[in-house]
Structure 1
Amino acid sequence: MASITLNNLVKQYGDGFPAVNDVSIDIADGEFIILVGPSGCGKSTLLRMIVGLEDITSGDLLIDGKRVNEKAPRDRNLAMVFQNYALYPHLTVFENIAFPLRLAKGRHSEAEVQRLVTEAAKTLELTDHLQRKPGNLSGGQRQRVAMGRAIVRQADAFLFDEPLSNLDAKLRGQMRSEISQMQRRLGVTSVYVTHDQTEAMTLGDRVAVLKKGELQQIASPRELYEQPVNLFVAGFIGSPSMNFLPATLEGNKLKTPVGDIEVSEEKVRVAEGKRVVLVGIRPEYFEDASMVDESKRQQGSTFTAELTHTEWLGNEQYGYIKFDPDPEVRDLLDNLAREMDADELRPQIVVTLDAASRIRGGRPAELWLDTRKIHLFDPGTGENLTRDAAAGAALTEEANAARAEEIADAREREEATKLRAS
């Protein structure tokens, strides 16, 4: 296993376009890092730079403290799992998994090849399929074969390039779970590229959010969600997306298109002197006011708004409130949508309601908002004015400690299983 260090990596093409621009990340031994962002943000290019399939224009790439910029891919001892599986259709599952071992001619005896492939197949529940051809397997099974090939190499790190994008939703969920468990069990350093934020939030110890080749924030999924550093990260992470409302400060209230929001002195201080701020509100910060007890009401603000419609999902509901922003704010939302690879950010608020709520579209509704959790953003710079960096760092430290504990537990279980087998 190995640590991977990216020091000010730059990838510039012949036309001068920086696909990756001054990215620095320290990846600890055994850590699972996710690279996420919209199309064209540089995440796949960065992965290919790590494995050696793209040249590094400037900066240093270190594996276990050793600079490897000029090393060929085969000399970096990294295993790559591709989106299209890259399996050989004429070979059996056994031979596909064994392929990298056969490639290292003379390095592995036939008995060792047999042992390594059998162990990998057992780990991935492929034992019954070893004599089958890839064409006769499901998408999920083919992906497992590709992962098996990575495991037998006994590589220092696994690199995944959108490995689940060809699978249907149900299989993606199943494979997410399997990859997560396998990574914990093996304790192998892993870098995983995806545009799917569900994968990013559920798989990664830390998630690196990229935009136009630049690293925006790297942190635990929870820190990204609760303490985003800027408008882009706040809008990109979370589904449904964070709501953004233009607001002006009057006294201790933020005047918004859907009503006045009373805020704390701390939030008043950061908004003072600014002509307009953007209020960032996650859908779950809202509740049907009729279902909020009196003691909790004091911790937020209540306002009346008319929902255009609601969507009942069984365990919860989504409600929608339209508002009419001024041209400046509309342009800001349009620019943010383009950055996030979205068609548009509609001038509407999405609210999450309890499944039992009787609020319906077309009628005024009383809503409660937990104002303790809202964020205020500078519309010019995109900076999160209310970010608590210390609280965010504590969330990531907590996640790091949990990761170390899980890896230790997984290795202990693995050793116990081997002892029982012997």
Structure 2
Amino acid sequence: MENEGYAEKTLPSGRKVIAELRNVSKRFGAVLAATNLNLSVGEGEFLSFLGPSGCGKTTALRMLAGFESPSDGDVLLDGEVVNDLDAHRRPVNMVFQQYALFPHMTVAQNIGYGLRQRRPRLPKSLIAEKVSKTLEVVRLGGFEDRKIWEMSGGQQQRVALARAIINEPKLLLLDEPMAALDSKLRKEMQIELQDLQRKLGITFVLVTHDQEEALSMSDRICIMRDGRIVQIGSPQELYDRPNSRYVANFVGTSNFFDGTVTGPAGELTTVRLTNGMSVQATPGGDLADGHEVCICVRPEQMKMHHQGDGVPVEVRNRIFLGEHTEYLVNHETLGDFLVLSPRQSELAEGPFAVGDNATVSWDANSALILDRN
């Protein structure tokens, strides 16, 4: 899928462009790791690259950082081409997945390392002052003399962030910085990272394969597949209007029913499913008659009833999750799919048990027709 010009059309209005990839490709020998990347990053934006391992997201990040040079195209910072500018000369800092902290140094020595490398040298008193202020920003005041190995995983991450932001970069790049944290701590750090980004106003670019992480933290998300950008948009745009089955499957949870377009019906389009059933849904693009498509319906858009009109199903599994209940249901020809029933609906309709027969319905406006690929 071509993505040229896509990012420019979706850049939030009023933001100054601080970083760009223009027709950028990257080859490692015979392997094409990134293809025709076009992306504009706005000043003060929190943007995430999201995709599975090997999709090219880290390669894109490393080209912004200066650790890799593009094989084709240009990388720009503040409107200037920086293809040949060394990483340490760019107004960019990077936080790595493993943090890359110096175990023999104290917290203060780690944080102030970059300042000590500047030429001409900065006064020691100024470095100490900046380190102290930065420690307060990341809520590590009083930890100056601790050794790295005395710090928890979450504290080490804050040290890595402090070391990156103390140099006041225009662009902070984060390569899966929370991958090593447990689930509870990861959620806490997601909130802290958002708060820190808002407080500092620095542009953050995050690489992650965790959809929840990207959805909860980002202003925009750049979805990648096989070295290409396939869609860019706000979390809500990508969730509500994915442009392909791939994006719908990667952002959130979806049920898919394969079929063929058989004709329009006003604002809706009619699709004949592979089991012969005809349904109406909202077209996600220009799809001609005979086009092989899939119907995408989010589980929370489905309603389950003990009786009434709808698709007849049998309840295969039930998981109570407090605010809602997740049902795995089966239709004899559509197969298994998921339904999320909110607590309020459960109280009104009554719960369903494994083995119960039920009917499932959904609004045609909440069903999206997507290309099958």
Q: TM-score range by the shorter chain?
A: 0.7 to 0.9
Pick one of 377, 388, 397 that aligns with 2:370: 377
Secondary structure of the structure 2 residue equivalent to 1:71: coil
How far apart are the structure 2 equivalents of 1:225 and 1:194?
Answer: 17
Query: For 1:3-27, what per-residue CA distance to the aligned partner results, in whole angstroms no more than 9, with x for missing partners?
Result: 0011011101112x21010101000
Partner in structure 2 of residue 141 of structure 1: 155
- Structure 1 residue 67 and structure 2 residue 84: aligned? no
Partner in structure 2 of residue 22 of structure 1: 36
The percentage of counterpart residues that share the same residue type is 33
Partner in structure 2 of residue 281 of structure 1: 297
Partner in structure 2 of residue 312 of structure 1: 320
Query: Do the aligned residues in 1 keep the contact of 2:313 with 2:330 (CA within 8 Å)?
Result: no
The residue correspondences of 1:27-176 to structure 2 (distance < 5 A) are 27-176=41-190
How far apart are the structure 2 equivalents of 1:378 and 1:154?
Answer: 44
Partner in structure 1 of residue 4 of structure 2: none
The amino acid that maps onto 2:310 is T
Pick one of 234, 251, 259 that aligns with 1:247: 259
**How far apart are residue 174 of structure 1 and its match?**
0.5
- CA 1:53–1:216 in 2, change beyond 3 Å: closer, same or farther? same
How far apart are the structure 2 equivalents of 1:181 and 1:314?
Answer: 28
How far apart are the structure 1 equivalents of 2:155 and 2:330?
Answer: 45
**How far apart are residue 52 of structure 1 and its match?**
0.9
The amino acid that maps onto 2:247 is V
How far apart are the structure 1 equivalents of 2:222 and 2:232?
Answer: 4
The residue correspondences of 1:159-308 to structure 2 (distance < 5 A) are 159-238=173-252, 241-248=253-260, 254-256=271-273, 260=277, 262-263=279-280, 273-274=289-290, 276-289=292-305, 302-308=310-316
Structure 1 unaligned runs (5+)? 292-296, 327-346, 383-422
How far apart are the structure 1 equivalents of 2:21 and 2:274?
Answer: 44
How far apart are the structure 2 equivalents of 1:24 and 1:268?
Answer: 23
- CA 1:206–1:270 in 2, change beyond 3 Å: closer, same or farther? closer
Query: Do the aligned residues in 2 keep the contact of 1:234 with 1:242 (CA within 8 Å)?
Result: yes
Secondary structure of the structure 2 residue equivalent to 1:46: helix
Query: Do the aligned residues in 1 keep the contact of 2:241 with 2:284 (CA within 8 Å)?
Result: no
Partner in structure 2 of residue 360 of structure 1: 353
- CA 1:317–1:150 in 2, change beyond 3 Å: closer, same or farther? same
**How far apart are residue 276 of structure 1 and its match?**
4.6
**How far apart are residue 227 of structure 1 and its match?**
0.7
Query: For 1:61-98, what per-residue CA distance to the aligned partner results, in whole angstroms no more than 9, with x for missing partners?
Result: 11000110000001112111011011111111011100
Query: For 1:313-335, what per-residue CA distance to the aligned partner results, in whole angstroms no more than 9, with x for missing partners?
Result: 12111111245779xxxxxxxxx
The RMSD of aligned alpha carbons is: 2.6
**How far apart are residue 378 of structure 1 and its match?**
3.0
Could you list the structure 1 runs, at least 4 aligned residues long, displaced by more than 3 angstroms after superposition.
Answer: 247-262, 266-272, 322-326
Q: TM-score, normalised by structure 1?
A: 0.77
Residues 68-77 or 108-117, more deviating:
108-117
How far apart are the structure 2 equivalents of 1:150 and 1:57?
Answer: 28
**How far apart are residue 223 of structure 1 and its match?**
0.4
Query: Do the aligned residues in 1 keep the contact of 2:311 with 2:331 (CA within 8 Å)?
Result: no
Q: TM-score, normalised by structure 2?
A: 0.87
How far apart are the structure 1 equivalents of 2:17 and 2:288?
Answer: 48
Aligned length: 348
How far apart are the structure 2 equivalents of 1:268 and 1:136?
Answer: 53
How far apart are the structure 1 equivalents of 2:275 and 2:357?
Answer: 12
- Structure 1 residue 6 and structure 2 residue 21: aligned? yes
Query: For 1:7-54, what per-residue CA distance to the aligned partner results, in whole angstroms no more than 9, with x for missing partners?
Result: 011101112x21010101000111111001001001111111111111
Query: For 1:174-204, what per-residue CA distance to the aligned partner results, in whole angstroms no more than 9, with x for missing partners?
Result: 0000011100111111111000011110111
Query: For 1:284-343, what per-residue CA distance to the aligned partner results, in whole angstroms no more than 9, with x for missing partners?
Result: 11122369xxxxx9xxx73321121211112111111245779xxxxxxxxxxxxxxxxx
Query: For 1:128-181, what per-residue CA distance to the aligned partner results, in whole angstroms no more than 9, with x for missing partners?
Result: 211100101110000000000011111111000000000000010000000111
How far apart are the structure 2 equivalents of 1:34 and 1:324?
Answer: 40
**How far apart are residue 262 of structure 1 and its match?**
4.5
**How far apart are residue 275 of structure 1 and its match?**
6.3
Query: Do the aligned residues in 2 keep the contact of 1:285 with 1:369 (CA within 8 Å)?
Result: yes
- CA 1:229–1:103 in 2, change beyond 3 Å: closer, same or farther? same
- CA 1:376–1:2 in 2, change beyond 3 Å: closer, same or farther? closer
- CA 1:40–1:127 in 2, change beyond 3 Å: closer, same or farther? same
Partner in structure 2 of residue 408 of structure 1: none
Query: Do the aligned residues in 2 keep the contact of 1:158 with 1:191 (CA within 8 Å)?
Result: yes
**How far apart are residue 260 of structure 1 and its match?**
4.7
Structure 2 unaligned runs (5+)? 1-15
The amino acid that maps onto 1:362 is G
How far apart are the structure 1 equivalents of 2:133 and 2:62?
Answer: 28
Partner in structure 1 of residue 10 of structure 2: none
Secondary structure of the structure 1 residue equivalent to 2:174: strand
Structure number with the higher helix fraction is 1
Structure number with the higher strand fraction is 2
How far apart are the structure 2 equivalents of 1:249 and 1:82?
Answer: 46
Query: For 1:324-363, what per-residue CA distance to the aligned partner results, in whole angstroms no more than 9, with x for missing partners?
Result: 779xxxxxxxxxxxxxxxxxxxx52111113334122212
